[in-house]
Structure 1
Amino acid sequence: MAIDAQTLLLILFLLLTCSLMKRRTSKKQNKNLPPSPPKLPFIGNLHQLGSLPHQSLWQLSKTYGPVMHLQLGKMLTVVISSPEAAKEVLKTYDLDSCSRPPLQGARRLTYNYQDVAFSPYGEYWREIRKICVVELFSVKRVQSYESIREEEITNMINSISRHSLSSPNSSSVDLTEKLFALTASMIFRIAFGTSFAGSDFNHNKFNELVHAAEATMGSFSAAEIFPYVGWIVDWLSGLNRRREKVFRELDSFFQRVVDEHLNPGRTKPQQEDIIDVLLKIIKEQARFGAALLTEKNIKAVLLNMFLGGVDTSAITMIWAMAELAKNPTLMKKAQEEVRNIVGNKGKVTNSDIEKLHYLKMIIKETFRLHPAGPLLLPRESTSKFKVNGYEIYPKTLIQVNVWGIGRDPKIWSDPEEFIPERFMDNSIDYKGQHFELLPFGSGRRICPGMYMGTTTVELGLANLLYSFDWELPNGMKEEVLNMDESAGLCLSLAKKTPLELVPKKHLFA
């Protein structure tokens, strides 16, 4: 049954009025809360989030301060926008603020929080994180996948080379599509031990499913914001139906590949994949009478790998290449470094990366200006504490705006400019100890896949810079290159338009 916009607005108004009348009065003495923008009845500050929430929150923080209180329907939210306040939340009061809010999208897609990213703080989370850190994302494990990374990057470079050689008119290549395909192929092989060629998925279908899952995980439902009646809005909008569709597609796919790994007749590859590792842990637990992991846990951890491993690495490389294309002098400097170090070997390998100091500065600057996750995954406080002198109460949703921190003129000179040299002789790093730069978070909830992600970005970018000279298409001027961010409430922040560049084959590659 179709519902016109006016009728829907009336329904929403009546439902929200009922919600307001039924809402129980809070027993908290909400004194000394952080400053807050003016609120509207029913919705609070929801209308101020905008299509790019991290940007809207940063603008609001300029008026209301680096510790800001928002009311999103019934959800009490605190937004952190300075390194000093971030240090208090993520370090000083890490234990008091390291749980996760019970969001319905995350609950459904992670099999009731059986994963590591969205699981609330507690014994299960500590155990599953330990497994991920020690067994899945350790330096040794990540290095064991070196051949997969190098093979997939070589495949991408060869694909671009064929395009370059077959295009006499110097046509552009869609680097956005190429880099998403690269990271998807890597994660697919690392997780499943097989390539897309041996599955029902292609790169596009796989990426569509990942993006749909991100949209589901990265947005609030009306039921969370407006208790009692919000579920009706979710039903009318089709949110529940879309969420269930994404879950069933992911669950069916994950179950199929787990079943294939359990098949006694399966030919095992030389290199253990992630499912092999997790199934081995299950077998060892059964031998000792333990039962921490089940197949649902495996599927939930796989979901984390896809959401954290496909988009974030590709998005970082896309933004880096876009910034270098916009700044040809920086591009040339980066290419000279990598080509001088690598020489005529034909490709960049992992052993070359530690010598590429300027490349590492470029990646840090990309993390600062274009963090793939502009807002860290939301935390939930479990006890009362103070930040900058303001009270933070239990059950408060806490958002750290790393995008805003990265553009704070009190910390960074010329914050809107892409200047890799700012990290020369600068000890600031992105590994969670310097709160000016937090692309992977900090504290107990720091991303366990950080080393895997940075290894992919470094090797991918280095080979693109080594193998080709890059130009903007059709005589485009650098100043008109579209650098807008994609709008929405997804977990990651993509470039709004695809990055189209013209590759010129380099002599050494």
Structure 2
Amino acid sequence: MVQLNSNELNTMAVATILIVTLTILWLYKLTLSSSKSSLPPGPRSLPIIGYLPFLTGDFQKQIVDMAYTYSPIFKFHLGSKLYVVINAPELAKVVVRDQDKVFSNRDVTIAGTVVSYGCQDLAFCSYNSNWRNLRKIFVHELLSNKSLEASCSFRADEIRKTIKNVYGNIGKEVNISDISFLTEMNVLTSMVWENTSLKGAKGIHLLKDLQMVSSNITDTIGLPNLSDIFPSLARFDLQGIERKMKKMHDKMDEILTNIIEDRVKYNSKKSQDGDGHEGKKDFLQILLDLMDQNEKVSLSITNLKALLLDTMLAGTETTATLIEWAMAEIIKNHNVMKLVQEELTQVVGANNIVEESHISKLEYLDATIKETHRLHPMVPFLVPRTPSKDCEVGGYTVPKGCCVFLNVYSIHRDPRYWDNPLEFNPERFLTNKYDYKGNNLKFFPFGSGRRICAGIPLAEKMTTLILASLLHSFDWSLPKGIKEPDLSEKMGFTLRKSKPLLAIPSQRLSDASLYN
């Protein structure tokens, strides 16, 4: 037997330890490499800063273009943040159905957190009992069939005012986005807090402030923010986005506080006089009544404000933008305008105004609106989600805490699912009865699953009612020298037209009294 001295034994021990250590390091590296390789494909990134240096000025458009290179799923890093983009219906199904609960939380930016009262609203709140309670209130109390029917007169009155206003501008250029936004804002403010003393000059001033703040919030929330990409830099707020959003949030909070306090005083006075607030109730009164039912409903004043904020922001910007896109496509496609107006004449009548009772019968207009949603989805990536644990989508690992985009824009234009996808063709929705419930993931402009947009019933009514009224009451043409509308896009949180649509109305109905 060979005898080893102590030095040899020590040498062997060191070598053994070294071999074991190197083996462990190699196995760790192999495991790490295997883990990395299970992530979706995507562009190469630089250390620390990721893909940031390669971004163009049009971040959202760049994501759409990347889908054609890395589809159906890809990833990219911005700083320490991992983003995963889903570009196919079968993979979207995994997110919104098969693993819907895992993906039910929102990936909220700093700006989104600020404006939503620290995620106390319906749009950005985490998936928990508070969110379920808010959604129940919103869907069953505010947007129930009974509530929407009770607020029918609010919508009718404001749309008639718009028609009268446009009639006063016959032969002149009209900004479609402006009139749509103003109509929607007037309708929503009537539905939300009609029964207040904030009337006259004071009410007009409040409405202008609300319009300005709402528009600024929507613009700001879609801006890329270095503080979201590099959390360690958040305290410096290098781009000033957090400060800007706080300023606008404070202004919005001041408006909402004044409205609520005015209503509380009004109710107190009515109570002292022995009167209640019987009859039709606006949204604010419904929410205040629910707050008094503490034993049944958990609703704080912050939740109340956040729900009102959601209603105003989501209800104005997206609907007005959709109407502008629809009008642009209808004016461009003369045959579509002809068919829409022929249907309106048949359903509504040449000597009548559009009523909500007509909406369900306007099949071709409904198809036209759906085709607009397909080609120009209002929120092209929906509201981003984040998984609550590591999971698998399409054979790839999607890590806990990453940001997941559902690329509705690309899915709606994918030639695998749509014939001539870039052509505006409402007829495709007459032969295939898609709805807005997210059941068919080739078409889901409002999302799908637990976090589907709660405001669909109101959005559907408002879009159809405003478009039907504008197209039934007026013929529309472009300003002299312009052959067709500009359809170039400006991508942000919402999908807007790069240039506003200016159109000239002319009287279509023979009875002038229908415009009063």
Task: Give the TM interval when normalised to the shorter protein.
Answer: 0.7 to 0.9
The structure whose Rg is larger is 2
Q: CA deviation at 1:274?
A: 1.3
The worse-fitting range, judged by mean Cα deviation, of 412-421 and 44-53 is 44-53
Q: Which residue of 2 aligns with 1:249?
A: 251
State the one-letter code of the partner of 1:272.
Answer: K
Distance between the aligned counterparts of 1:201 and 1:401, measured in 2? 39
Partner of 1:167: none
Q: Secondary structure at the match of 1:343?
A: coil
In the alignment, the residues of structure 2 paired with residue 28 and residue 211 of structure 1 have an alpha-carbon distance, to the nearest angstrom, of 46
Change (3 A) 1:230 1:460: same
Match of 2:172 in 1: 171
- Shift >3 Å, 4+ stretches: 26-31, 46-54, 194-198, 200-205, 266-270
Distance 1:493 1:205 in 2: 24
- 1:483 maps to 487
1:335-374 paired onto structure 2 within 5 Å: 335-374=341-380
Q: Give the stretch that moved more between structures: 327-336 or 140-149.
A: 140-149
**Per-residue deviation, 1:204:** 4.7
* Contact 1:48–1:56 (Cα < 8 Å) also in 2: no
- The 1:239–1:36 alpha-carbon spacing in structure 2 relative to 1, beyond 3 Å, is same
Give distance in 2, aligned partners of 1:122 and 1:447.
17
Deviation string for 1:339-371 (max 9, x for gaps)? 111113421111111111100110110000111
Paired AA for residue 258 in structure 2: R
* TM-score in terms of structure 1 length: 0.88
Return the offset for 1:434: 1.0
The normalised TM-score by structure 2 is 0.87
Cα deviation, 1:34-88, whole Å, max 9, x if unaligned, reads 1111213333123455444342112111111121111121111111111111111
| Structure 1 SS opposite 2:288 | helix
Q: Identify the residue that residue 223 of structure 2 maps to in structure 1.
A: 219
Letter in 2 for 1:482: D
- Alpha carbons of structure 1 residues 187 and 255: separation in structure 2 relative to 1, 3 Å: same
> What residue number does 1:189 align with?
190
Is contact 2:436-2:456 (8 Å) kept?
no
- CA RMSD for the aligned pairs? 2.1
Distance in 2 between the 1:340 and 1:48 partners?
Answer: 54
Change (3 A) 1:364 1:52: farther
**Paired residues for 1:443-454 under 5 Å:** 443-454=449-460
Which residue of 132, 140, 144 corresponds with 1:138?
Answer: 144
Say if 2:269 is the partner of 1:265: yes
Q: Which region of structure 1 is more displaced relative to structure 2, 204-213 or 408-417?
A: 204-213
Identity over aligned pairs, percent: 34
Pair 1:60-2:66 in alignment = yes
| SS at 1:311 equivalent | helix
In structure 1, what is the Cα distance between the partners aligned to 2:167 and 2:401?
53
For 2:52 and 2:199, locate their aligned partners in 1 and report how far apart those are by CA, in whole Å: 41
Deviation for aligned residue 1:297: 0.9
> Which residue in 1 is equivalent to 2:25?
none
Confirm or deny: 8 A CA contact 2:368 2:426 kept in the other structure.
Answer: yes
Q: Report the Cα offset of residue 398 of structure 1.
A: 0.7
1:277–1:297 distance in 2 versus 1, CA, 3 Å: same
Shift of 1:28: 11
Distance 2:458 2:94 in 1: 27
Equivalent-residue separation in structure 2 for 1:120 and 1:150 (angstroms)? 36
User: What corresponds to 2:395 in structure 1?
Assistant: 389
Question: Of residues 157, 162, 177 in structure 2, which corresponds to 1:156?
Answer: 162
Q: How many Å separate the matches in 2 of 1:369 and 1:291?
A: 40
Indicate if the aligned counterparts of 1:374 and 1:493 stay in contact, CA closer than 8 A: yes
Residue 500 of structure 2 corresponds to which residue in structure 1?
Answer: 498
Measure the CA separation in 2 of the matches of 1:145 and 1:391: 47
> Hey, what's the Cα distance between the residues in 1 that align with 2:350 and 2:498?
36
SS, match of residue 461 in structure 1: helix
Q: Deviations over 1:72-123 (max 9, x none)?
A: 2111111111111111111111111010124222222222211111001111
Deviation at 1:221? 3.1
Cα distance change on mapping 1:269 and 1:51 into 2, 3 Å: farther
> Contact 1:193/1:269 (CA < 8 Å) preserved in 2?
no
Tell me, yes or no, if structure 1 residue 69 matches structure 2 residue 75: yes
Q: Distance in 2 between matches of 1:47 and 1:66?
A: 24
* 1:322, distance to aligned residue in structure 2 (A): 0.4
1:283 and 2:285 are equivalent in the alignment: no
Deviation at 1:441, TM superposition (A): 0.4
Residue number among 464, 470, 476 corresponding to 2:470 in the alignment: 464
Query: Which of 380, 390, 394 is matched with 2:386 structurally?
Result: 380
Name whichever of 275-284 and 197-206 sits farther off. 197-206
SS of residue matched to 1:33: coil
Q: Distance in 2 between matches of 1:64 and 1:192?
A: 48
Give CA deviations for 1:232-252 in whole Å, capped at 9, x if unaligned. 2x1x43223212211110111
**Residue 129 in 1 paired to residue 135 in 2?**
yes
Per the alignment, residue 22 of structure 2 pairs with none
Give the corresponding residue for 2:214.
Answer: 210
Task: Please name the residue that 1:16 is paired with.
Answer: none
User: How far apart, in 1, do the equivalents of 2:134 and 2:49 lie?
Assistant: 37
Contact 2:226 2:239 (C-alpha < 8 Å) held by counterparts: no
User: 1:275 & 1:323 partners in 2: Cα distance?
Assistant: 36
Aligned partner of residue 126 in structure 1, secondary structure: helix
Distance verdict in 2 for CA 1:472–1:39, change over 3 Å: same
**Gaps (5+ residues) in structure 1?**
1-25, 165-169
CA distance in 1, matches of 2:330, 2:188: 26
Residues 110, 242 of structure 2: 8 Å contact kept: no
2:47 match: secondary structure: coil
CA distance in 1, matches of 2:396, 2:249: 39
Partner of 2:84: 78
Structure 2 counterpart of 1:3: none
SS in 1 for 2:205: coil
Kindly state the Cα deviation for residue 404 of structure 1 after the two structures are TM-superposed: 1.3
Instruction: Indicate which of 225, 232, 247 corresponds to 1:228.
Output: 232
